[in-house]
């Protein structure tokens, strides 16, 4: 069944990240994956600049980079059984539908992990994390305003980010906040999906932040005071990479009276230098 397994893997990989997915707004480092690990290096400090120098020879220093070997995460889907009688009685190819369901499950997990990892842990000079400042919304949270987005944009300007590479991933509540503030401007934004300097996407699985602006651990249960953030990044400062795909199949299983199938994917996503990433979380309403 080796040929059939390869067909299922091709179905899983086909269209894994469609062109309208925010995951394409990153550096794809899949080509650097070796044995499901990626080898990177944290760059050392940049050189100093001499002004009106009169001392020669000009000083020479070496730069020490720190190598990093990062193993890719392993994602396993829960097995699905397609019983022989089901396949015979359905008017469609149920196994094909099942395989697409596994692909969608992996795609969702890739997206939520990436959004979480690309978001900064907390506010810092090169990783701005802001709280919303608008009036209360229906969730008794302060609304995201266009002024908040402009404030975030200015934070990126102040750290000399490449403004042509900025991406903003709004959560649905923040998108609704902007819509309620100015419906005309909202419609203009949705025409070209551009909000000021940010290329705009929407996603419902963004990370949560505490009321103090600290990112919650991936997969943890949000507390009552935690709120979902919208995140921003510079395209060349975040990465994703894919490793192996495997399919595990048991055909004509005598106990299940059908075929059992499951998938495994190796994947990772992270900031490249922990710089030029940001977030806006909803502050508690007054």
Amino acid 279: pLDDT: 98
- Domain residue spans of the chain: 1-286
- pLDDT below 50 — which residues of the chain? none
Amino acid 239: pLDDT: 95
Contacts 24+ apart (CB under 8 A), 91-98: 95/259, 95/261, 96/11, 98/261
User: pLDDT tens digits for 34-84?
Assistant: 889 988 766 667 788 888 788 888 888 888 776 678 899 999 999 999 888
Amino acid 178: pLDDT: 95
Q: What are the φ and ψ backbone dihedral angles of 88, each rounded to 5 degrees?
A: -75, -30
CB 70 within 8 A of CB 36: no
Amino acid 112: pLDDT: 95
Amino acid 157: pLDDT: 97
Structure pTM?
0.85
Amino acid 145: pLDDT: 96
């Amino acid at each position: 069944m080796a040929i059939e397994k390869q067909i299922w893997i091709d179905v899983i990989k086909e269209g894994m990240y469609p062109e309208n997915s925010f995951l394409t707004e990153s550096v794809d480092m899949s080509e650097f994956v070796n044995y499901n690990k990626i080898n990177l290096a944290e760059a050392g400090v940049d050189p100093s600049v001499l002004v009106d120098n009169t001392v020669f020879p000009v000083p020479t220093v070496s730069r020490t980079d720190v190598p990093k070997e990062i193993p890719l995460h392993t994602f396993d889907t829960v097995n699905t059984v397609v019983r022989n009688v089901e396949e015979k009685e359905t008017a469609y190819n149920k196994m094909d539908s099942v395989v697409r369901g596994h692909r969608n499950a992996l795609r969702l997990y890739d997206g939520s992990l990436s959004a979480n990892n690309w978001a900064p842990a907390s506010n810092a000079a090169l990783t701005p994390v802001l709280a919303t400042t608008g009036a209360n919304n229906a969730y008794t949270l302060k609304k995201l305003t266009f002024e908040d987005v402009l404030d975030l944009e200015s934070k990126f300007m102040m750290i000399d980010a490449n403004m042509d590479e900025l991406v903003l991933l709004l959560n649905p509540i923040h998108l609704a906040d902007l819509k309620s503030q100015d419906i005309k401007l909202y419609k203009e934004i949705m025409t070209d999906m551009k909000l000021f300097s940010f290329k705009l996407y929407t996603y419902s699985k963004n990370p949560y932040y505490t009321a103090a602006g600290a990112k919650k651990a991936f997969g943890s249960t949000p507390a009552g005071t935690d709120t979902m953030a919208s995140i921003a990044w510079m395209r060349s400062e975040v990465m994703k990479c894919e490793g192996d795909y495997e399919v595990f199949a048991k055909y004509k299983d005598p106990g299940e009276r059908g075929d059992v199938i499951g998938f495994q994917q190796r994947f990772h996503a992270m900031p490249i230098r922990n710089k030029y990433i940001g977030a806006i979380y909803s502050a508690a309403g007054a």
